[in-house]
Amino acid sequence: MKKKILDRSKSLIEFIDKSPTPFHVVKSFTEELQKAGYIELYEQDKWDLFSGGKYFVTRNESSLVAFNIGSKAPEESGFKIIGAHTDSPNLRLKPNPVYLKNGYVQLGVEVYGGALLTTWTDRDLSLAGRVILKSSLTKKASKERHSRKKYPIYQGVISRLIAFDRPLLRIPQLAIHLNRSVNEKGLVLNPQNHLPPIFALVDTKTKSKTLLIDLVAKELKCKTEDIISLEMQLYDMQKGTLAGANGEFIFASRLDNLASCHAAMTAMLESPQQDLATQVLVFYDNEEIGSDTAQGGSSPFLKDILERISTTEKKTREALMRGIARSLFISADMAHAVHPNYVEMHDGNHMPMINAGPVIKSHSGQKYATEGASSSQFEQLCKKSKVPVQKFSIRSDLRCGSTIGPITATILGIRTVDIGSPMLSMHSIREMAGSEDQENLIRVFKEFFKPG
Ligand code: ZN
């Protein structure tokens, strides 16, 4: 295997492993951007932006926009935007999760997004997320000052990210002896009854009801009474890996859509020269639940930032509209590779293969925002970067999934193309994609960010 492909795959796997939740994705990127000289901006502040400046903004600590201001104003040269999402389907803890049942301590969970539920059984599961804590305003720690920027209204609280990084939970399957027809009928899981993981055995010597909060406090080295709320989700402890006879595959969690986020961020950080156009990355949370949140694809997050970039130096909103009319939005999300055991689930002329390049996704009902012009622009980028390109259209008798592409296109009125690397096991706790496809996608994105 070529060294470049190996390096890219390793870098992707490392990023996925250290980013179990959207909060951790944004934290990982914040660290990378700061290292590369990007300046963090806060939405409540007044911004003084400069040509050639590199900036980033976060919302809810789970969505992020990063941008490099071009040498020509956006109304003259437009925006080059790549978008993806930071969230993946999973199980999330309810506000009062702990309960005792038949001698076990269990945690109540809700399903987030379209998870393949059966894949969450019999796994070594851990917990990660965000904890909101009381903060003493008299403390002058820089971390708290940063938090007050993030929570300007709720002074007195700070957030801390947490990832236990050890197996704490399991959702055990019923033995086949007690469920004889499971292989014929499939495993049917009722989310309320069958998904709560086992956390511990009830122990009369310890306080089982406060077991979770005590563990969190211990992990964060804080007092339990300082913990105001938990936003925690389950994740698989198994690390990502290169796989297949020749290392042609990547097996990992959250490839949808952290592979696209990683490719876009890598391309931007490896394209340091100032462009004429303003380069933008947007990574939204909440795509898997329909994007209708303050930090999701349906929010004005991206539009607000493009407007603030366009209207510096007292320009009017016309500058934003002119800029958008000159722009391209690449909506990057994973695509369905053909599954050899279920070939009939694909249209015969649209069977994307793993490691055969990014897929342009089209749908006449516009579940994908691709149209002729945006598609040809993306094809040109593939051609110039010598990367093969594939096309996908769903079987005409199946319902089509969607992405942030049509949502962003509708809000901004921006030319958009929906693309993504092909994969299998989409929305499983452990997904599968191609190791060469990561490098393929990065090359196309770098071509997009080439100055000119
Ligand atoms: Zn996705």
Q: Dmax over Cα atoms in the chain, in whole Å? A: 73
SS3 238: coil
In this structure, are 139 and 11 located in the same domain?
no
Residue 356: pLDDT over 60: yes
For residue 243, being part of any structural domain is answered with no
Sign of the CA dihedral with 231 first, then 238, 442, and 38 last: positive
pLDDT at 141: 56
Structural tokens at position 45: 């502040």
pLDDT at 363 over 70: yes
Ligand 1 centroid to Cα of residue 50, in Å, is 34
Which residue from 359, 376, 342, 341 is spatially nearest to 434, judged by alpha carbons? 359
How many C-alpha atoms does 337 have within 13 Å on its Cβ side?
A: 22
Cis preceding linkage at 60, omega within 30: no
Q: In the chain, count of helices (H) and strands (E)?
A: 13, 20
Q: Name the one residue in this structure whose structure tokens are 């040269």.
A: 77
pLDDT of res. 154 = 72
Going by pLDDT thresholds of 50, 70 and 90, the confidence category of residue 135 is confident
pLDDT at 72 > cutoff 80: yes
Which residue among 201, 236, 271 closes a domain? 236
Q: What is the mean pLDDT of residues 117-133?
A: 97
Residue 180 alpha carbon to ligand 1 centre in Å: 35
Does 68 lie in the same domain as 117? no
Asked which of 142-156, 316-330, 382-396 is least confident by mean pLDDT, the reply is: 142-156
- In the chain, the number of structural domains is 2
Beta-carbon count within 10 A of 87 CB: 26
Which pLDDT value is given to residue 140? 52
pLDDT digits (tens, 9 = 90+) for 328-348: 999 999 999 999 999 999 999
Q: Are residues 16 and 110 in the same domain?
A: no
Between 314 and 442, the more confident residue is 442
The pLDDT value recorded for residue 204 is 82
Q: Which pLDDT does position 142 carry in this prediction? A: 59
Tell me the CA–centroid distance for residue 275 and ligand 1, in Å: 29
| pLDDT beyond 80 at 150 | no
Q: How far apart are the first and last CA of the chain?
A: 33
Confidence of residue 427 (pLDDT cuts 50, 70, 90): very high
**Are both 127 and 171 inside the same structural domain?**
yes
Centroid of ligand 1 to alpha carbon of 24 (angstroms): 17
- Residues 262, 140 share a domain: no
Q: What is the mean pLDDT of residues 13-24?
A: 98
Give pTM, 2 decimals: 0.96
Calculate mean pLDDT across residues 28-36.
Answer: 97
Distance from the alpha carbon of residue 287 to the mean position of ligand 1, in angstroms: 7
Do residues 186 and 201 both lie within one domain? yes
Domain that holds residue 116: 90-236
- Whether residue 396 is predicted with pLDDT greater than 90 in this model: the reply is yes
* Band (156; pLDDT cuts 50, 70, 90): confident
Mean pLDDT of the chain, nearest integer: 94
Position 169: which residue type?
A: L
Q: Tell me if 246 is assigned to some domain.
A: no
The β-bridge partners of 419 are 332, 360
Both tokens assigned to 68: 């490099």
Which residues, in sequence order, are CB contacts of 425 under 8 Å at separation 6+? 116, 119, 431, 432
Instruction: Report how far ligand 1's centroid is from the alpha carbon of 429 (Å).
Output: 13
Question: Same domain, yes or no, for 295 and 402?
Answer: yes
If one counts every other C-beta atom within 10 angstroms of the C-beta of residue 161, the result is 17
260 alpha carbon to ligand 1 midpoint, in Å? 9
**Å from CA of 88 to ligand 1 middle:** 7
Q: How many residues does the chain have?
A: 452
**CATH number for the domain including 122?**
2.30.250.10
Last residue of a domain, one of 203, 236, 269: 236
How far is ligand 1, taken at its centre, from the CA of residue 332, in Å?
8
Angle between helices 255-269 and 435-448 (to 10 degrees): 40
Residue 190 alpha carbon to ligand 1 centre in Å: 24
pLDDT tops 80 at residue 145 = no
Q: How distant, in Å, are the alpha carbons of 72, 73, 266, 280 from that of 49?
A: 13, 12, 23, 14
CA of 66 to the centre of ligand 1 (A): 20
Give distance in angstroms: CA of 421 to centre of ligand 1: 11
- How many angstroms separate the alpha carbon of residue 443 from the centre of ligand 1? 20
47's CB contacts (< 8 A; 6+ apart) are: 41, 308, 312
How do residues 175-224 score in pLDDT, each as one tens digit?
999 999 999 999 999 999 999 999 999 988 778 899 999 999 999 999 99
Last residue of a domain, one of 173, 201, 236: 236
Query: Which pLDDT does position 203 carry in this prediction?
Result: 87
Give the Å distance between the CA of 235 and the centre of ligand 1: 17
In eight-state DSSP terms, residue 275 is P
Distance from residue 263's CA to the centre of ligand 1 (Å): 14
Q: What is the pLDDT of residue 313?
A: 84
Cα of 259 from ligand 1 centre, angstroms: 10
Give percent of the chain with pLDDT exceeding 90: 90
Domain contains 428: yes
Whole-number Å distance, alpha carbon 333 to ligand 1 midpoint, is 5
Same domain membership, residue 415 and residue 286 = yes
Within a domain: residue 37? yes
Position 34 scores a pLDDT of: 97
**Beta strands 104-112 and 359-361, pairing class:** unpaired
CA of 310 to the centre of ligand 1 (A): 29
What is the 401 CA–ligand 1 centroid distance (Å)? 9
> CA–CA separation, 27 vs 161, rounded Å?
9
Q: What is the mean predicted confidence (pLDDT) over 143-167?
A: 81
Assign residue 413 the CATH number of its domain. Answer: 3.40.630.10
- Say how many Å lie between the CA of residue 197 and the centre of ligand 1: 25
Spacing, Cα 420 to ligand 1 middle (Å): 9
CA 25 to ligand 1 center in whole angstroms: 15
Q: How far apart are CA 368 and CA 404, in angstroms?
A: 9
Whether 244 is in a domain gets the answer no
Q: Which residues, other chains included, contact 394 with Cβ-Cβ below 8 Å and sequence gap of 6+?
A: 347, 350, 363, 400, 401
* The predicted structure's pLDDT at residue 5: 93
- Of 298, 315, 305, 310, the closest CA to residue 281 belongs to 305
Indicate the pLDDT class of residue 137, thresholds 50, 70 and 90. very low
Give the sheet arrangement for strand 335-336, strand by strand: 241-243, 249-252, 431-434, 422-424, 335-336
Are 93 and 235 in contact by the 8 Å Cβ rule? The answer is no
Residue 41 has pLDDT above 80, yes or no: yes
Confidence of residue 138 (pLDDT cuts 50, 70, 90): very low
Q: Could you tell me if 261 and 324 lie in one domain? A: yes
Res 189: pLDDT: 97
Q: What is the pLDDT of residue 153?
A: 67
pLDDT of residue 1: 75
Could you tell me if 240 and 253 are in contact, meaning their C-beta atoms sit under 8 angstroms apart?
yes
Taking the centre of ligand 1 as the mean of its atom positions, its distance from the CA of residue 233, in whole angstroms, is 18
Residues 178 and 292 in one domain: no
296 Cα–ligand 1 center, Å: 13
Per-residue pLDDT of 227-254, as tens digits, reads 999 999 999 999 999 999 999 999 999 9
CA 403 / ligand 1 centre spacing (Å) = 7
The pLDDT-based confidence of 71 (bands split at 50, 70, 90) is very high
Q: Which of 392, 365, 390, 393 is nearest to 379 (CA)?
A: 390
The Å distance, Cα 400 to ligand 1 centre, comes to: 13
Q: What is the pLDDT of residues 49-67, one digit of tens each?
A: 999 999 999 999 999 999 9
Residue 272 has a pLDDT of 84
Tokens in use for 293?
């949140």
Our CA dihedral for 52, 57, 63, 68, rounded to 10 degrees, sits at: 0
Strand-pairing partners, residue 235, are 126
Are 119 and 146 part of one and the same domain? yes
Instruction: Tell me, in angstroms, the distance from the centre of ligand 1 to residue 292's CA.
Output: 15
What's the 41 CA to ligand 1 centre distance in angstroms? 27
Q: For residues 134 and 229, give the distance between their C-alpha atoms in angstroms, rounded to a whole number.
A: 10
Shared domain for 274 and 141, answered yes or no, is no
Expressed in angstroms and rounded, the spacing between residue 288 Cα and the centre of ligand 1 is: 7
